[in-house]
Structure 1
Amino acid sequence: MLKKYKLRSYNFILVFILIVTSVFALAVVNSANSAYTLKQGAGIAISFIIMIIVSFIDYNWLLKYYWIWYVIVNIMLIGVLTVFGHGSHGATRWFKIGPIQLQPSEFLKLALILLVAKLVAANKEKLNSIKFLLLIACLTLFPILLVALQPNLSTAILLSLIVIAMLYCSGVSYKIFGIAILIAIPVLSAFLIYVVSVEHPILIEDYQRKRIVDFIEGKSEEVDMNDAGTYQQAYAVQAIGSGKLTGKGLNNKDTSSLKNAGYIAEAQNDFIFAVIGEELGFTGSCITIFLLFLIVIECIIAAVRAKDFGGRLICCGVAIYIGFQTFINIGVVSWILPNTGVPLPFFSCGITSLLTLFIAMGIVLNVSLQRNVERDDDMFADDFRG
């Protein structure tokens, strides 16, 4: 479980980027809603300490017991849907332990990354076998369906994208992906036609249907205050635009601020990027994206330098996780995607999200700590697809 490491191999650059990102994120949370500052700050501090501890745990030991993490998370998801679930905003996605509220679907992101990395690394010769791919599909679809039933369609889609992208990076043949795409396009088209044409579809909730329909039919110039999805995105876009180049400043008292007027719903959570856009402007938005981009790049570099295939896939999975989640969150806030509840990594309030992200970073740090030094001079020469 624990090994002897050379401290000079530790990825201090990634740690520094995470510190800068965390301090910046906490300042934004404090401006968005100061009531959450202490809780978020404590969450960052605890998660950071856990990350450092995890970074010295051999990632191959974690992969060895991948099935334990998988089973535990599935039990938690079943518990949320049956006995222990705590509802909020029309969904049952959490359970409470005293004052702490946990969301198992966040832990599932990391559990699936470890599951896919272990199974693929242990069965490289079977990678293009339909039987093996069906096994992975069954093992990943079961918990993803549990998440979709909460309902949490956005996270279910994100989880599916993580698994598919990891399989692509692992080297699944283009032929298989081509066949999958040829099947997926008509299925997705039929689903969208069904959603648009049926007033109360049985596959999704009415509010989810309305958000999809509104997005397909186009944005109205009038803001419907009876539709949370519409006004959240409409005011978020206005807030970002009003920030111009440098913004109105953190913790400002500007009477024209949409955040100060209470028009940015969930300002400290899913729509925190709107606060960044309004108060720090285009400059602050670019800094936010750049910091998250650097974290993804560090994960990719760790993947290229990894000493084995399992470590490479873990780092790829974490990069995909952070990259896709960032794209979806900012896409929703800027109204280029339908409204859906996905947090902005490291910025949105949420202890479970923070804990999962920092544990994932700890594993990436351990992969870097055990990197193949011989590959450092030619780190971009290898093909990610194996």
Structure 2
Amino acid sequence: GKINSPRNLFPLILHGMIPIGMILLQRDVGSALVFGAIFVMMLFVAGLSWKIVIASLGAVIVAAPIVWQSDLLNEFQKQRILVIFNPELDLLNYGYQQWRGRISLGSGQLFGRGLFTGSSSFVPVVHNDFIFAYIGQVLGFVGCVATAALLLCICIRILVNSMRAKDALGCYICTGVFAIMIFQSVVNIGMVLCVMPVIGVTLPFISCGGTSVVTMYLAMGLVMSVHAYSKRKKKFFED
């Protein structure tokens, strides 16, 4: 498609790198990764060639050691990443939150300790990034699976709306919201399971945070608007 020509692709990349770069200057890697996920997903839906995707992944792999040696990541962020491979590297400092989160998650066992039993959390400030650990504590494995399944159903529904969109704009809106939902859900749950670094990404609709919740509800409002507008017979993917 037209998007694969350098004349069209480079301005789009520049447009996407401006907000991502500004966020990285504030050392907010979590938000920058969310923006990056949205940007990549929308480019892919717009018809970006697989060759460009593979070449970009190769460039990221090559650039990773350079970024690690640069000042882009501070020592705290590097330690967060190293703790993933060795959780006992620093249990009382960089790895403390994930260590306590793992204890909280496993303490609920199959059905949890109960939602209204008044049990205290093992994790400090659990209502923010580590709310999934508390879900495991009070609702157990069953509650965790139900929560993940509910988020997955919402993501699938958003993706279906993008495929049924009447025009490209509706498709891109739903794709962007889908990218936010799936990326934040996977990363947040991964943080609690100690398979991803703690980067301050919230769990959509569940983590406490006014800005995050309001943003997600506004995004879902846009998705519902696309759904209401796509009742006609002609669909974007049928052109």
The TM-score normalised by the length of structure 1 is 0.58
Give the aligned residue type for 1:252: T
Alpha-carbon separation, structure 1, partners of 2:117 and 2:174: 39
Q: Secondary structure in 1 aligned to 2:204? A: coil
**2:76 aligned residue (200, 203, 207):** 207
The match for 2:160 is: 301
In structure 2, what is the Cα distance between the partners aligned to 1:179 and 1:224?
38
Change (3 A) 1:223 1:182: closer
**Structure-1 residue corresponding to 2:135:** 276
The answer for the alignment partner of 1:171 in structure 2 is 47
Question: Following superposition of structure 1 onto structure 2, how do residues 54-203 of structure 1 map, counting pairs within 5 Å?
Answer: 126-192=2-68, 194=69, 201-203=70-72
Query: Which residue of structure 2 lines up, in the alignment, with residue 252 of structure 1?
Result: 117
Q: Is 2:185–2:203's contact at 8 Å kept on the other side of the alignment?
A: yes
Instruction: Indicate the RMSD between aligned Cα atoms, in angstroms.
Output: 2.1
- 190, 202, 211: which is aligned to 1:352? 211
Q: Deviations over 1:304-356 (max 9, x none)?
A: 11111111111111111101110000101111111221110000111111111
Residues 83 and 90 in structure 2, CA contact (< 8 A), matched pair in contact too: no
Equivalent pair of 1:212/1:338 in contact (CA under 8 Å):
yes
What SS class does the counterpart of residue 91 from structure 2 fall into? coil
Gaps of 5+ in 2: none
**Structure 1 residues 284-363: aligned runs within 5 Å:** 284-363=143-222
Distance in 1 separating the partners of 2:2 and 2:106? 51
Deviations 1:81-113 (A, max 9, x none): xxxxxxxxxxxxxxxxxxxxxxxxxxxxxxxxx
1:219 counterpart (43, 67, 87):
87
Equivalent position of 1:58 in the other structure: none
Q: CA deviation at 1:372?
A: 4.4
Aligned residues: 239
Equivalent position of 2:230 in the other structure: 371
Structure 1 residues 51-79: Cα deviation after superposition (integer angstroms, max 9, x where no partner): xxxxxxxxxxxxxxxxxxxxxxxxxxxxx
Highest RCO, 1 vs 2 (Cα 8 Å, sep ≥ 6): 1
User: Which letter does structure 1 place at the counterpart of 2:140?
Assistant: G
Deviation for aligned residue 1:184: 1.9
- TM-aligned CA distance change 1:202 to 1:161, over 3 Å: same
User: Contact conserved, 1:305 with 1:373, CA < 8 A, in 2?
Assistant: no
SS at structure 1 position matched to 2:233:
helix
Look up the SS of the partner of 1:374 in the other structure. Answer: coil
Give the 3-state SS of the residue equivalent to 1:127 in structure 2: helix
Q: CA deviation at 1:295?
A: 1.1
Q: Structure 1 stretches of 5 or more lacking a match?
A: 1-124, 195-200
Q: Give the AA of the match of 2:14.
A: C
1:178 offset after TM fit, Å? 2.2
Residue 44 of structure 2 aligns with an amino acid whose one-letter code is Y
CA deviation after TM superposition for structure 1 residue 366, in Å: 0.8
Larger Rg: 1
Identity rate of aligned residues, in percent? Answer: 34
* Structure 1 residues 252 and 166: alpha-carbon distance in aligned structure 2, compared to 1, 3 A threshold: same
- Per-residue CA deviations over 1:143-174 (Å, capped at 9, x if unaligned) read 11221222211111121121112111221111
For residue 232 of structure 1, the aligned residue among 97, 100, 104 is 97
Does the 8 A contact of 1:305 with 1:375 survive in 2? no
- What is the one-letter code of the residue matched to 1:331? G
Distance verdict in 2 for CA 1:131–1:283, change over 3 Å: same
Amino acid at match of 1:325: Q
- Helix, strand or coil at the partner of 1:342: coil
Query: Structure 2 CA distance, aligned partners of 1:183 and 1:373?
Result: 42
| Partners of 1:136 and 1:182 in 2: CA distance | 20
